[in-house]
Structure 1
C-alpha cells in the first residue's frame, strides 16, 4: 500500500527542513491533536500513540541530506516506512511531501488507509508553522 500526502511549501531552505526532520524530537510538534503519547527513545527513534490506536515506534532508516529522510517501523508486527521528500523551489524555499509505504493484507489495508492518509496529511500540513 502506497499513500502520498499533499505537497506543502515551507519558507525555509531544504537544509533547514532536513535538519528539523532529522531531529526526531521535532516530530512531536507535527503530530495531530489526538496524540496521547510521544516519547523520544534515542537519537534516531521515537514512540507515539494516537487516541484509540496502538503505540508505534519509528526509527530513522535512511538519510540523504538535504532531500530525503526515511523513517521505518522499529519492531512490531507491521513493516512500513514513512518517507519525507524535500525539494528546493525557485525562490529558495522547500516543497515537502510525505509518502507512506507498507505491505499489508487487503483487510488491514482497507482498515488503515483512511487513518494513515489523515495522519500523513496532518504531519505535512503542520510543517510550515512548526519549522
Structure 2
C-alpha cells in the first residue's frame, strides 16, 4: 500500500527542513491533536500512540541530506516506512511530501488506508508552521 501526503511548502531551506526532520524529537510537534503518547526512545527512535490506536515505534532508517529522510517500523507486527522527500524551491523555501509504504493484506489495508492517509496529511500540514 502506497499513500502520499499533499506537497507542502516550508519557508526554510532544504537543509534546515532536513535537519528538523532528522531530529526525531521534532516529530512530536507534527503529531495530530489526538496523540495520547509520544516518547523518544533513542537518538533515532521514538514511540507514539494516537487515541484508540496501538503504539507505534518508528526508527530513522536512512538520511540523505538534504533531500530524504526514511523512518521505518521498529518492531511490532506491521512492516512499513514513512519517507520525507524534500525538494528545493529556492534557497529559503522547500517543498515536502511524505510517502507511506507498507505491505498489508487486503482487509488490513482497507481498515487503515483512511486513518493513515489522514495521519500523513496532518504531519505534512503541521510542517508548514513547525519547521
Assess same fold via TM > 0.5. Answer: yes
The CA distance in 2 between the partners of 1:90 and 1:20, in whole Å, is: 18
Residue 90 of structure 2 aligns to a residue whose secondary structure is: coil
Residue 29 of structure 1 aligns to a residue whose secondary structure is: helix
- Counterpart in the other structure of 1:94: 94
- Counterpart in the other structure of 1:75: 75
- Counterpart in the other structure of 1:54: 54
Q: Does 1:103 align with 2:111?
A: no
- Counterpart in the other structure of 1:8: 8
Residue 6 of structure 2 aligns to a residue whose secondary structure is: coil
- Counterpart in the other structure of 1:39: 39
Deviation at 1:103, TM superposition (A): 0.1
Deviation at 1:91, TM superposition (A): 5.7
Dislocated runs of 4+, deviation >2 Å: none
The CA distance in 2 between the partners of 1:82 and 1:49, in whole Å, is: 16
Task: Provide the aligned length of Structure 1 versus Structure 2.
Answer: 131
- Counterpart in the other structure of 1:20: 20
- Counterpart in the other structure of 1:120: 120
Deviation at 1:90, TM superposition (A): 3.5
- Counterpart in the other structure of 2:129: 129
The CA distance in 2 between the partners of 1:20 and 1:111, in whole Å, is: 31
TM-score (norm 2): 0.99
**Cα deviation 1:10-62 (Å, max 9, x = unaligned):** 01000000000000000000000000000000100000000000000000000
- Unpaired runs of 5+ residues, structure 1, are none
- Unpaired runs of 5+ residues, structure 2, are none
Residue 29 of structure 2 aligns to a residue whose secondary structure is: helix
Cα 1:91/1:44, change in 2 over 3 Å? closer
